[in-house]
Amino acid sequence: MYQDKKMKILKIICSVLLLIALLNNPYGYYQILRWVIMVASAYLAYTYFTSDNKKYGWVFVVVAVLFNPIWPFYLDKSTWQILDFITAGVFLISLKNKEEKAIL
- In this structure, is residue 102 part of a structural domain? no
Q: Looking at residues 1-25, what average pLDDT do you find?
A: 89
* Distance in angstroms (rounded) separating the CA atoms of residues 65 and 67: 6
- In this structure, is residue 31 part of a structural domain? yes
More confident residue, 52 or 66: 66
pLDDT greater than 50 at residue 93 = yes
- In this structure, is residue 104 part of a structural domain? no
Total number of domains constituting the chain: 1
Per-residue DSSP letter, 70: S
- In this structure, is residue 74 part of a structural domain? yes
- In this structure, is residue 8 part of a structural domain? yes
Nearest-10 Cα torsion for 83, 32, 59, 46: 180
- In this structure, is residue 35 part of a structural domain? yes
Contacts of 18 (CB under 8 A, 6+ apart): 33, 37, 84, 85, 87, 88, 91
Q: Which domain holds residue 86?
A: 2-96
pTM for this predicted structure? 0.86
* Distance in angstroms (rounded) separating the CA atoms of residues 36 and 33: 5
- In this structure, is residue 103 part of a structural domain? no
* Distance in angstroms (rounded) separating the CA atoms of residues 42 and 46: 6
pLDDT greater than 90 at residue 97 = no
